[in-house]
Amino acid sequence: MAWDGDALAGQMEEALERQQMVADARAVRGTSTVNERARSAQFESLRASRSRIMTQLSLATNPAYRTVLERGLKSINDQMAEDEVNSKAETKPTDS
């Protein structure tokens, strides 16, 4: 199972920065809704889990355990990417 940690970390860092900028902009404007706060809490939870798995992965030596961690990391990354796409779709202005 190939895993390019540097490329993946770079992509996730970019996604994190984009989401953080959006969250900061909303906080300044004071337009945070219940759904936005829930999404933000979910994102922070995923980010914390991702950080923990990355740390464990950097220390893991057992190939089977590394595989389990890599699968968990992929799942979290996929969820973060999906949430980002859904967030963009919800904030896109509608043509009315």
Would you list the domain boundaries of the chain?
A: 32-87
pLDDT for the residue numbered 1 = 45
Residue 79's pLDDT band (cuts 50, 70, 90) = very high
pLDDT for the residue numbered 37 = 77
Residue 94's pLDDT band (cuts 50, 70, 90) = low
Question: What is d(CA 81, CA 83) in angstroms, rounded to the nearest whole number?
Answer: 5
Closest by CA position to 76, among listed 56, 48, 57, 55 = 48
Element of type H or E holding 75: helix 63-91
Question: What is d(CA 75, CA 73) in angstroms, rounded to the nearest whole number?
Answer: 5
What digits encode the pLDDT tens for the residues 35-71?
A: 877 888 888 889 899 999 999 999 999 999 999 999 9
Query: Taking the model in full, what pTM does it have?
Result: 0.60
